[in-house]
Structure 1
Amino acid sequence: MITDAHPAPRDHDTGFFGDLPRTDYGVVVGNCQAESVRLVLDSDELPLVRVPPVYLLDAAATRRLHEVVAGAAALIAQPVKDDYHGLPLGTRQLAASLPPSGRAVTFPIVRFTGLHPFQAALHVPGVEETPPLVAYHDVRTLALAAGAPVRERLDPDGVRAEAAASLAELRRREETLDVAASDLFAEPRFDLVRTVNHPGNEVILALGDRILRALGRDGVARDPGRPLLNAVHAPREDWVIDAWGLDAHAVPDWTVDGRRVDPAEVRDAHLAWYLEHPQFVRGAVDRLRPTLERWRR
């Protein structure tokens, strides 16, 4: 579920909803992953209109989105529940605005924790702020803030159990979608993900190819020649590398906008933030109960 909350941008400030192409065009709707999918699929044969991620849309932008979809040949969408944020942004609601000749294809919100089993990306209702430095949560730090500390690392069986749980949830969500991604993680590698919810180019390109096939269109997704979703890289911990037998080097630091950030700095900043946001700690611990149980075993 897309749950990030941010203020909506003004169209003219961000380049969203530009002049519509005169030929057939498509629209890609979802979270930040959707923009990466748009980048690898945009072509002369199917130009794709740039729209904001759904968590940035206000009422005016939502009306504009429906107007754009009403003239589209294709709607390529991640699953969004009806009346998301009190607006008609649900995938089914948007698809209803397509013209009779339009095609809708759905693809998953990709999350995989098998390479970063200590990391969580989540939102707790009533807490709109995000923690400083990185907008991700380390379950070890969160458990410490909740007064129930867990281990510092998982054994190989624990890493695989976390990966299996992550893929089981992804497969469950894929059951009602047109395109799947879970099989792409059969052999985990760091090239596949930068954080738990930021897949690398390899995954985005594979999704793009599958979307084209689902639309019944020729061609392949095109690599933009630069890393996508590249602003934040989570640490690569040695015990995760050992669990998967990877030919990779441990990277203990976060990388944020090209700058190395010490995980101890993140930990201290997040502990202070949790102290100021006890409601978040309670809600997050409840949401992450199965994960925390695996960390306590």
Structure 2
Amino acid sequence: MGGEMARLGSLADHGEAVIARRAHYAEFFGDAPPPTGYGLVVGNCQAASLRLVVSSDALPTVRMPAVHELSADDAARLHDLLREASFLVSQPIRDDYRGLPLGTAQLRASLAPTARVVTVPAVRFAGLHPFQAVLRLPDFPEDPPLVAYHDVRTVAEAAHIDIPGALPPTAVHEIAEGSRAELRRREARGLDIVASDLFDPVVEDLARTVNHPGNALFLPLGERIVSALGAPGGAVDPGRPILASVRAPLEDWVVDAWNMDAAPRPDWIVAGEPLAAETVREAHLAYYRERPALLAAVVDRMAPLIATWAATA
């Protein structure tokens, strides 16, 4: 009886989540009419933030889920919307992404000939969090507990690899430049918008985590997109921090490396609440201890970063 009640409760929760999702993306799902002259911003979680700073009376947009959340029915709905769209802003997405016709070229093919298209990079920047990595391991789809990020110091501890607990400024700058160089490499593939020059100077609001930029990046990037679309006006400041549900620690030695006017923050902030870095460390050590094959895969993927840290020991 208890098991059946739990199952029914789980189904009810799932049903409520589906209803809430449809309400949140009502225009995308056809439950509300899209605005006249609408466009779409397609990509990962960064695309949703770009939509916030691009969308205006001159550039109305339809809110949509992140591309990795789309089902086959969602993909079909997206192509229906594209046929009537005035513009598309898209991160580079490979053809048949997740087995669906979601590649940038495939999306572009559904647009009217008069629709405008702007391609923008997905951004990762490690200059503020040179200890951090976000990994997608096909053989190990489960994320680490509490926060979906790997800390090189915790990984090294779990794997019995000797590295220091902090980096000198030269190493912090080296890791940051590696992020910029990788971004420049991807921009050189023919993207319409560049972002690699927006990480100088380095300020706290540039990034919340290694893969979540902040307003200091999104606002100037939005200006470039609006200009590329030929629309009047500029980026829209949402008046609040965006993509800020998870904030990684800001270490004192990172603040010193960039001579930032910012207070160090030793702990995480998740959904507005502090989460002690030590709590995360202990949970991740247990996670790795219980999954030695996963730990080996993480060490392999993080080998260049581990080597950078080890070289400063």
Shorter chain as denominator, the TM-score bin is over 0.9
Q: Secondary structure at the match of 2:205?
A: helix
Question: Could you tell me whether the CA contact under 8 Å between 1:154 and 1:295 is conserved in 2?
Answer: yes
CA distance in 2, matches of 1:193, 1:248: 13
Alignment correspondent of 1:252: 266
Contact 2:42 2:90 in 1 (8 A): yes
Aligned-partner Cα distance in 1 for 2:128–2:235? 25
Question: Residues 283 and 24 (structure 1 numbering): CA distance in 2 closer, same or farther, change over 3 Å?
Answer: same
Q: CA deviation at 1:183?
A: 0.7
Written as runs of structure 1 = structure 2, the 5 A alignment for 1:270-289 is 270-289=284-303
Higher percent of residues as helix: 2
Matched, 1:205 2:215: no
2: distance between equivalents of 1:248 and 1:36?
24
1:277 and 1:218 map into 2 onto residues whose CA distance is 53
Counterpart secondary structure, 1:49: coil
The higher radius of gyration belongs to 2
Q: Distance in 2 between matches of 1:21 and 1:14?
A: 13
Structure 1 residue aligned with 2:115, among 90, 102, 126?
Answer: 102
Equivalent in 175, 196, 199 of residue 185 of structure 1? 199
Q: Offset at 1:294?
A: 0.4
- 2:25 pairs, out of 15, 36, 51, with 15
Secondary structure at the counterpart of residue 84 of structure 2: coil
RMSD (Å), alpha carbons: 1.7
Of 236, 240, 243, the residue aligned with 1:222 is 236
Who is 1:166 aligned against?
Answer: 179
2:251 paired residue number: 237
Specify the code of the residue in structure 2 equivalent to 1:40. V
Aligned residue identity for 1:49: V
1:295 aligns with 2:303: no
Checking the alignment, whether the CA contact within 8 Å between 1:40 and 1:221 is kept in structure 2 is yes
- How many residues are paired up? 291
Work out whether residues 35 and 61 of structure 2, in 8 Å CA contact, stay in contact via their aligned partners in 1: no
The separation in 1 between residues aligned to 2:69 and 2:173, in whole angstroms, is: 35
Q: Structure 2: how far apart are the matches of 1:212 and 1:43?
A: 10
Gaps of 5+ in 1: 1-6
Say if 1:9 and 1:56, in contact at 8 Å, map to a contact too. Answer: no
Change (3 A) 1:146 1:202: same
- Indicate whether 1:56 and 2:69 are aligned: yes
The separation in 2 between residues aligned to 1:98 and 1:286, in whole angstroms, is 41
Shift of 1:236: 0.9
Amino acid at match of 1:12: R
Query: Could you tell me the percent identity over the aligned residues?
Result: 54
The one-character-per-residue Cα deviations of 1:74-98 (angstroms, maximum 9, x if unpaired) are: 1101111111111111111111111
Match of 2:167 in 1: 154
CA distance in 1, matches of 2:23, 2:146: 25
Unaligned runs of 5+ in 2: 1-13
- Residues 41 and 47 of structure 2 are in contact (CA less than 8 Å); yes or no, is this contact kept in structure 1? yes
Quote how far apart the aligned CAs of 1:165 are: 0.7
